[in-house]
Structure 1
Amino acid sequence: MIFRRSLISEFMNTAGGVFTVLFSIVLTVGIVRVMSQVAVGKSDAGAILQMVLYTSLTTLAPLLALSLFLAILMALIRSWQQNEMIVWFSSGGLSLLSWIRPVLRFSLPVVLLTAVVALAITPWARGQMDVSKAQFSQRDDTSRIASGQFIESSSGRRVFFIQQVSEDTQNVKGIFVSELNRNGKATVVSSTEGRLRINKEGDRYVELTDGKRYEIAPDAKSYRVTGFGTYGIRLDIKPDQILSPDKAHSLPTSYLLNDPSPKNLGQFFWRLSWPLMALNLVLFAIPLSFTNPRAGKSLNVVVAVLVFILYLNFINIMESWITEGRWHWWSGLIALHGSVLLLTAFLFIRRIWLQRWLPRELTIGYWRDRME
């Protein structure tokens, strides 16, 4: 009993350390990504923390599964290296199967948390990200202008550069506007200053003063320069509307089941795969943890990461097949996760009963010792 309590305590400490490291890496990458989107005008500068939070929540399920897998594996590897496994096996004739109970006792709450995150929290966070991006994309061009940056308009055919913007965004200085027409004709407008205007119909314009307009032919062999005192450019504006997420990855899980289209079922398979993956991997870690006490544990960790990546790729492949209608979602669950469970059972059998019948040259331990 004391040994099992200390074992669960070690699982918790290892899992906490692994999760902290992985989450810090993901959080840093998320901050850099959001900041780059803000820099190019694709995201709202006032919602940086909000977007970073949503991004972190969308990666929480994979992080929980990977952290749990590595924590169990590293703790068991340490037991092998410090000969604690010898004590475990010699006390009352216990076998490798006896590790399943304490491992599951620690892992099941984390697996349930992974299920809640994957089925409820992740789609909510993705939906909030989609709504925030859609709201920002519906703003007119001036609301996305920032000083000293090239900003692309919502139509994708116009690029703004503003040297200086007033605090109320009504007055601008040092303006450069490049636009490509549908016929391939490029127009470049530069002005020293400008002001935002609204006409009687409610259309918004930016009124430029004291500037020049360059018209460049599609073949770039000729151009025309025109000076102007006042020049107006109509801004791209989309009507306000109630935004609702329409992508499968941001829909609630209940909606996916109520509308069982192949795309929705593929997304439901992807969400349900995370807790099943976490459960399979913690069982897989028990036979995978075997190592020679004189050898290092680096090879086992590398193999574990490769197994996780391979498992993740198979989940994505199966999701695409379900989305295309080539597989049913429940048959995909049984085929993929059932195969991993059978592989885990084979590793247990090989480690407990078949290992003694195999030539040493055919065992993983032999080649691990040779490599290290």
Structure 2
Amino acid sequence: MIVFRYLSREMLVTLSAVTAVLLVIIMSGRFIKYLAQAAQGVLDPSVLLLIMAYRMPGFLQLILPLGLFLGILLAYGRLYLESEMTVLSATGMSQQRLTAYTLVPATAIALLVGWLAMGLTPQGISSVERILNEQDALTEFDTLVPGRFQSLRNGSRVTYTEELSQDRSELGNVFISEKRESSSGKGEGIGVLVAEKGRQEIQPDGSRYLILENGYRYDGLPGQANYRVIRYDTYGVLLPRPEVAVEVGEHEATRTAELIGSDDPRDRAELQWRLSLPILVLVVTLIAVPLARVNPRQGRYLKLLPAVLLYMVYLSLLIAVRGAIDKGHWSPDVGIWPVHIVFLAIGLLLLYWEPMKLRLAARRSAGEVRHV
């Protein structure tokens, strides 16, 4: 039990460190993307942290298998490099026994990944969809930030207000610039609106208008001096809705209970993908244990790059077959299980390859002794 606790602690500590680093990298990239949308007025800044919290289970379900794989390689590689594994082997620690010890914490990680994949991740994605749909229902008026130029409609419209009341009902010193087709057909014109005040008005059909007061409208073509200037007391501007990109698939938010028994190939592909993630954890454990064995003279990282490439091929094949099932190019009855079977066979081959070579060498040596 002392050896088991020691090995498990070494592996789990490395797993935690690798997972934390990968999670920070991935979440930072995604947070920057959401932050850019908030800066453009597409997303409300107050929902950014909530979105990231709901997306975290989806990130973890993919990071944990890789973190476990790298954790085994790095932790056991250090033990081999410092000859601790040699001492354990001398006391009767076989490769199979080491694998059995490793599978115990790996099974706990697999159960955690299964819980994330089948429970928390769909709930989180469903919550993100709800938040994004609420954001999509907002208008330009609802996402305005005073003192900041806000770009909408792929940059064709820019809005600015110097002042905004606490209840977001009144604006002060408004500026709106919008690209539009010239009435003469000679190119793309620009329309500019400036006003002292602005307020929102909701029509019976649900459409919203920004009512501007005491301002000017300028229309013309860039580079030409024939601008048209109109002074107005009241002017109405239709408020467009920000376009929020939904980054999740149609079936990723579906509850696992609803996927079971469905005949839809896309539902079956999603269900098989969720079931594959905990299986992935166990299979990569079988692959990582023999690959972690290194010669102290060769260095700790000799097999790290080939091992990571093998893992990436495994995950890429799972994703590719899942996409093929989703598009109807692969039978859902066959599913993605052949990929698991192939890499399970690779893991077993790697696990028993060294003992087989030792047995063959021992038999060859015994035969040579008898021959002499």
Q: TM-score band (shorter)?
A: 0.7 to 0.9
Match of 2:165 in 1: 166
Match of 2:366 in 1: none
Residues 221/189 of structure 1: CA separation in 2 closer, same or farther (3 Å cut): closer
Match of 2:250 in 1: 247
1:232 equivalent to 2:231? Answer no
Letter in 2 for 1:276: I
Distance in 2 of aligned mates of 1:56 and 1:200: 40
Distance in 2 of aligned mates of 1:5 and 1:325: 47
Distance in 2 of aligned mates of 1:311 and 1:182: 52
Q: Could you tell me how far 1:150 is from its partner in structure 2?
A: 3.8
Q: CA deviation digits over 1:124-183, x for unaligned, max 9?
A: 111111110110110122001112434355799644233332322222234332445589
1:326 equivalent to 2:311? Answer no
Q: CA deviation digits over 1:275-306, x for unaligned, max 9?
A: 11111111100111121112322233333333
Letter in 2 for 1:54: Y
How many pairs are equivalent?
A: 350
Match of 2:260 in 1: 257
Q: CA deviation digits over 1:85-106, x for unaligned, max 9?
A: 32333334x5322222101112
Q: Is the 8 A contact 1:40 1:149 kept in 2?
A: no
Distance in 2 of aligned mates of 1:100 and 1:76: 11
Residues 105/226 of structure 1: CA separation in 2 closer, same or farther (3 Å cut): same
Match of 2:320 in 1: 317
Which sections of structure 2, spanning at least 5 residues, go unmatched?
243-247, 362-372
Residues 51/213 of structure 1: CA separation in 2 closer, same or farther (3 Å cut): same
Residues 258/151 of structure 1: CA separation in 2 closer, same or farther (3 Å cut): farther
Q: Is the 8 A contact 2:177 2:191 kept in 1?
A: yes
Letter in 2 for 1:286: V
1:37 equivalent to 2:41? Answer no
Alignment of 1:87-126 (within 5 A): 87-92=87-92, 94-126=93-125
**Which has the larger helix fraction?**
1
Match of 2:365 in 1: none
Q: Is the 8 A contact 2:273 2:322 kept in 1?
A: yes
Letter in 2 for 1:101: A
Alignment of 1:14-163 (within 5 A): 14-92=14-92, 94-152=93-151, 158-163=157-162
Q: Is the 8 A contact 1:185 1:215 kept in 2?
A: no
Distance in 1 of aligned mates of 2:328 and 2:316: 19
Does the residue aligned with 2:78 lie in a helix, a strand or coil?
helix
Residues 106/237 of structure 1: CA separation in 2 closer, same or farther (3 Å cut): closer
Q: Is the 8 A contact 1:155 1:236 kept in 2?
A: no
1:286 equivalent to 2:285? Answer no
Q: Is the 8 A contact 1:176 1:191 kept in 2?
A: yes
Distance in 1 of aligned mates of 2:168 and 2:34: 23
Q: CA deviation digits over 1:330-372, x for unaligned, max 9?
A: 52322111111111122223322247989xxxxxxxxxxxxxx
Residues 310/144 of structure 1: CA separation in 2 closer, same or farther (3 Å cut): same
Q: Is the 8 A contact 1:214 1:223 kept in 2?
A: no
Residues 80/6 of structure 1: CA separation in 2 closer, same or farther (3 Å cut): same
Percentage identity across aligned positions?
26
Q: Is the 8 A contact 1:178 1:186 kept in 2?
A: no
Which sections of structure 1, spanning at least 5 residues, go unmatched?
239-244, 359-372
Residues 349/258 of structure 1: CA separation in 2 closer, same or farther (3 Å cut): closer
Residues 237/5 of structure 1: CA separation in 2 closer, same or farther (3 Å cut): closer
Q: Could you tell me how far 1:212 is from its partner in structure 2?
A: 3.1
Does the residue aligned with 1:328 lie in a helix, a strand or coil?
coil
Residues 232/187 of structure 1: CA separation in 2 closer, same or farther (3 Å cut): farther
Q: Is the 8 A contact 2:164 2:170 kept in 1?
A: yes
Letter in 2 for 1:63: I
CA-atom RMSD, angstroms? Answer: 3.0
Q: Could you tell me how far 1:225 is from its partner in structure 2?
A: 1.4
Normalising to structure 1: TM-score of the pair? Answer: 0.83
Match of 2:300 in 1: 297
Letter in 2 for 1:213: R
Residues 80/194 of structure 1: CA separation in 2 closer, same or farther (3 Å cut): same
Residues 52/113 of structure 1: CA separation in 2 closer, same or farther (3 Å cut): same
Q: Is the 8 A contact 2:158 2:177 kept in 1?
A: yes
